[in-house]
Copies of this chain bind each other. A is one copy, B any other.
Amino acid sequence: MRAKQFFISTMKEAPADAEIVSQKLMLRAGMIKKLAAGIYDIMPMGLRSLRKIESIIREEMDRAGAIELLMPIVQPAELWQETGRWQKYGDELLRIKDRHDRDFVLQPTSEEVVTDIARQEIKSWRQLPVNFYQIQTKFRDERRPRFGVMRGRDFIMKDAYSFDRNAEDAGKSYDKMFEAYCRIFDRLGLMYRAVRADSGSIGGSRSQEFQVIADTGEDLIVFCPDSDYAANIELAEAPCLIEKREEPKEAMEKVPTPGKDKCELVVELLGKPLTDSVKSIVLAVEQYDEKGNPLPAKIVLLLLRGDHSLNEVKAGKLDALKPGFRFATDSEIMNTFGSKPGYLGPVGIPKNVTIVADTTVANMSDFIVGANEEGYHIRGVNWGRDLREPDVVADIRNVVVGDASPDGKGTLKMQRGIEVGHVFFLGDKYSSAMKATYLDENGKPQVLQMGCYGIGVSRLLGAAIEQGHDDKGIIWPDSIAPFTVVICAVGYDKSEEVQKVSNELYGRLKEAGIDVILDDRGLRPGVMFAEWELIGVPHRVTIGDRGLKNGEVEYTHRRDLKNETVPVADIADKLIGLINNR
């Protein structure tokens, strides 16, 4: 490509509403352009990188035996009603009506449609296993779209769906996809981690996320440096930190703690460690009578050690909090506990309040809780003696650095990540609901076992930038840079020698199959360098009359921006070697 024939449009400053670095850099580098909240034009520069990601994904999916098809973006509501997701999926599912007032959705994902295909097309065990995938626009009507392509409404996803005869085979399909994903992210040249994850609204019993490591990531990843263990904090199992509940040593005592509405403040006042305190979190579960009329919400009190934090995903899995919880309102709290938040506790509360204690809290003795009276706490509290035993004991906290790894092989560390891929073992969640069966060797109908596998294609652009950038702009890995090499021809419009050498190098690299752009615009070197540093092309060759006098050009890698003088005769081979042997 020659720059004059391409569309390059960079900006000095990102628009004011851009929040994170990848969004700012993609806008400034002319890779995307905002059309509406969470909806972006993919500009020519961005599309080049996107296509490279798609190609790598496609090659590895094909290699793993998956078969590409294309499912429509506009999908009939009937299929979504069959699985119940028409009702259950929140407002992110954009429901629309056509001219005949029929209901449709814009696909946020395609389990229903692919299962509809499978139940019609897969008749016999002889056709199994099969794995269908597509690379296709999705739409999720995010409440607060932001961060550019990282949390857009309109985005490109690769979604794959495997169908198998039984759970064992489905596990093999899952493993195959897991391996394909590792190859994909390896080839993309990104630092990533595969972590255990929660299945969320997709459902299913086994799932792993692929997280691109970046300090700015939304997700917290927990890992054990001494073993393979890695999990999203949502899922990471927290150990019980007290093996056995000790006998009470203190008497229960109500103490004044005016203005001390946080554990940290209370223990400071009392001269106790934070690990002696227990925090109370009040949740509510809506309830209805048999006619569907709302009743007062069920109140659930969650107890966590003062230095721990609530893990809402774990809590959401408790029967006591099903089908879904919210935080209790101030008036619900006042009505139930007789005090405002900050001074709440489990002592002397009504019997209809369910008490859920974290595993560690359940083994604590002589602990400190709120007195359910503003300005007061109680110390020396003990289970059984001072209050009834908890109704539920469960792991409801987030792990912290230093917790023991669940595999017993060390202690946990954390880093931040950006979720770019997710593999799920679905089992028969969709196939049962939609009656997708095949005939086995005995001619008997059996329910298909499924897995589903997603990669956020457009999101990967953002993740790669969050991982690779400096104050000058983007630093792409070779694999997904919009161009692998830029030839900065200084004075191209004036110097025949520069033209000749630049064109020759350009021809050599193209012949070698290298994706090169020749900047033939005749810009001043400073402007030209700044633009390509912003865009983040990894390899730069600068060709100008000054160097050519000595038969030399300059090579610069985007990562360190160190200039290296290279004889004209060697530059093509050097680049070919650098790029093809990485």
Interface residues of A (CB under 8 A from B): 5-7, 9, 33, 35-36, 39-44, 47, 50, 65, 67-76, 91-92, 94, 96-99, 104, 106, 113, 116-117, 120-121, 130, 132, 137, 139, 141, 143, 153-154
- CB-defined contacts of A153 to chain B, threshold 8 Å: 74, 98
Complex Cα spacing A137 to B107, Å: 13
Pair B42/A70 contact, Cβ less than 8 Å: yes
- Contact A72 B154, CB 8 Å, known A96-B96, A99-B143, A113-B41: yes
Q: Can you spell out 18 A-B residue pairs with CB atoms less than 8 angstroms apart?
A: A6-B67, A7-B69, A7-B130, A7-B132, A9-B121, A33-B121, A35-B72, A35-B76, A39-B76, A41-B69, A41-B72, A47-B69, A50-B70, A72-B154, A73-B137, A94-B96, A96-B96, A99-B141
By a CB distance below 8 angstroms, the chain B residues around A99 are 91-92, 94, 141, 143
**Secondary structure type dominating chain A contacts:** mixed
Bound-state CA distance A76–B154 (Å) is 12
A40 lies within 8 A of B141 (CB): no
Give Cα A92 to B98, complex, Å. Answer: 9
In the bound complex, CA of A406 to CA of B132 (Å):
54
A189: shortest Cβ distance to chain B, in Å? 23
A9 CA to B120 CA, complexed, in Å: 10
Chain B: which residue is nearest A50 at the CB level? B70
Q: Given known contacts A96-B94, A141-B99, is B72 in contact with A44 (CB within 8 Å)?
A: no
- Check if A72 sits within 8 Å of B40, measured CB to CB: yes
- In this complex, the member of A50, A69, A73 whose beta carbon has the largest number of chain B beta carbons within 10 angstroms is A69
State how many angstroms separate the Cβ of A516 from the closest Cβ of chain B.
15
A8 to chain B, nearest CB (A): 10
CB distance from A151 to the nearest CB of B (A): 15
Whether the pair B5, A73 counts as a contact (CB closer than 8 A) is no
User: Chain B: which residue is nearest A7 at the CB level?
Assistant: B67
